[in-house]
A and B are shown apart, each in its own frame.
Chain A
């Protein structure tokens, strides 16, 4: 279940399709781009968006498990890459993977990969926390009924199983001197998942899900926030496309680092900041 709360920001007030598309567009910029200036700007904007949407805690939770992974990505690239001209550490010659050289370029490229990963995960956190999963599922059901059934069941089942696991773990501590291993609890949750899925599926049945009708198209008027976030998402797509076309945000790591800091890149960075933050400026009708 998403942690989406009652509307409290322009992003929360936006229809799910637009909100989801905006988060995807925000993730496409770091996917398309390797320039540290632009990546740094995206990460700073992620923090700003988290603060503007009241999702700082969600972002912090994501960062707690994402940062070690990012560090691992950076170190793996530094250890395994043979590219780069500036050797900063010369290690022993191992049977596998051979001589250990760490180059500044490989470290920098590892850091760029880590930054990209963090930026994409931040966007995913915003989708989970600020976009209405029900509306997205509804759209999925309109597109593909069977996929919608599976997704609805999985989305609903996940929090039920998580609560089951917490309850089971608590119950094992309820008798003095007793207790069961985590493996036993995990086994009980997984074997109980079938029962739980049956219960939820029975509810879906008696709510008429099996009648296989697609939900109606909602004639919902476009709010100012829908329009603003759509424009912002389109602008973000254009920025990402500009990077792919080589118009700005140039970067190459090997054999020597080359980071474009030219005027187009600086203008693109400023445009990025403006595109991301502008939709949040209007706070009318967000409650």
Chain B
């Protein structure tokens, strides 16, 4: 029996001029994993909200057509009833956890269904085991990291063993390691439990290998509903697919890194070794003094808590564009806040020209009545910051920070929830920046596109500081997809660099297996 069916669904948010969904028809069968693709604002989140019953029951607006979740018609059954069939996970883990402890959070959905105490206890234990949360069960939710919160929220969505899982960019706040772990769990749920999954995600290359179908939305319409390989052949949406296309290799577009490597067997030059990761030379005294930013042996130790920064040293001058990378909790945001003067180091010295910092929540920078009060020439000048989309708010805040005229600009995860097109545009804009640029990011593809230098933070320390070609070509997690396909050869990070390496080293074959 079809687990999710949209039949001619159109939807307008209250007072919206244009529909967010237009005549959407699709069906998801049990055990399928469907990837929702499309640019920001294309209707992916609205589609998921319609599937969970939040649209129209919770958000109001005008609704036409019919959505069936299992045997439930969402026009007759609200989100609470639909929750028995479909588990839902949104982007922001902070507002998805409603109880004070992990155990209470997992028990909550089962209690709401009126299950017996024994069934609740059993369900909590099983969900915790399935997601590796056994050690967290008695932790307070406000003590958890973003990655842990997201896993708890996923467990809460799964605890009732739903037949369908609806996920809206679940990895957008996670580092590559935590993101891969979460996707591994989803694959297991899908393959071993037969849970149908509908997943909206911008980082397509991560999810494509697990997908059975790709549904592409544009302007609220379904413009494609096809197997991943056919969709990829048409869109070349992953770096590996672009690499093969740019190198002129006529092979089926690779869905996985493994397939791409197979397609390139024998073509990767054996003499193009990965650049060696040599420790950077310490800048001379004169260079250190002339630097616009000097962070010297900076520590930040929390009262009654851990040391978040442990002796970080960093010098940077105008024209340097630095990507700060590392796992959630490695100290990236803390370092940026310390440099911007929001936090006081407990040890060490810090000397910096004026800094403009974009925090992880761009809307926080826009407190005036209109966007025009801070950005008079913006096309959104007459609008209130709360009335524009998340993407528009993000772009406005970014503009505000970049125009502040500060010699040092620091951006904390500026590409979160950003589609590929906008990410490329931002990278191009950042490449024009003349001062010191520091960007904390989990996105290796983005770092490769703008950075002249990459620093890997681990446990509050700078564990590597090198040009991106060195740092992002040799790692397992902090590496671009092209670097993984080429095994780090020649330090190529982007499809264009990879294609140049391949075409320089060998004649392009007419066909590669």
Contacts and interface: CB of A to CB of B under 8 A. Distances in A.
Given A175-B400, A218-B117, A211 B80 contact: yes
B98 interface: yes
Nearest to A213: B114
A41 to B, nearest CB: 30
A160 B337 CA distance: 20
Contacts of A138: 104, 111
Contacts of B404: 175-176, 178
A195 interface: yes
Contacts of A134: 99-101, 104
Contact of B359 (A5, A170, A205): A170
B342 interface: yes
Contacts of B116: 216
A209 interface: yes
A218 B110 CA distance: 13
A81 interface: no
A202 interface: yes
Contact of A174 (B92, B156, B356): B356
A204 B356 contact: no
Contacts of B104: 132, 134-135, 138
A180 B405 CA distance: 18
B54 A176 contact: no
B357 A160 contact: no
A217 B355 CA distance: 56
Contacts of B270: none
Nearest to A177: B354
A202 B140 CA distance: 22
Given A138-B104, A156-B98, A216-B116, A205 B79 contact: yes
Interface string A195-222: 1100111111111111111111111000
Contact size range, B: 35 or more
Nearest to A188: B367
Contacts of A213: 111-114
Interface in A24-64: none
A173 interface: yes
A167 B361 contact: yes
B511 to A, nearest CB: 50
Contact of A175 (B140, B156, B401): B401
Given A172-B367, A199-B95, A207 B83 contact: yes
Contacts of A5: 140
A114 to B, nearest CB: 30
A171 B361 contact: yes
A30 B345 CA distance: 45
A205 B101 contact: no
B356 A210 contact: no
15 contacts: A132-B100, A155-B100, A171-B359, A172-B365, A174-B340, A175-B365, A175-B406, A178-B404, A205-B53, A205-B83, A206-B52, A206-B157, A207-B98, A210-B79, A215-B111
Given A185-B367, A216-B115, 10 more contacts: A1-B140, A6-B139, A137-B99, A167-B359, A175-B400, A176-B355, A188-B367, A207-B108, A208-B80, A215-B111
Interface of A: 1-2, 4-7, 132-135, 137-138, 152, 155-156, 159-160, 163, 167-168, 170-178, 180, 184-185, 187-188, 191-192, 195-196, 199-219
Q: Which 7 A-B pairs have the closest CB atoms?
A: A210-B80, A171-B364, A213-B114, A134-B104, A176-B354, A208-B112, A199-B95
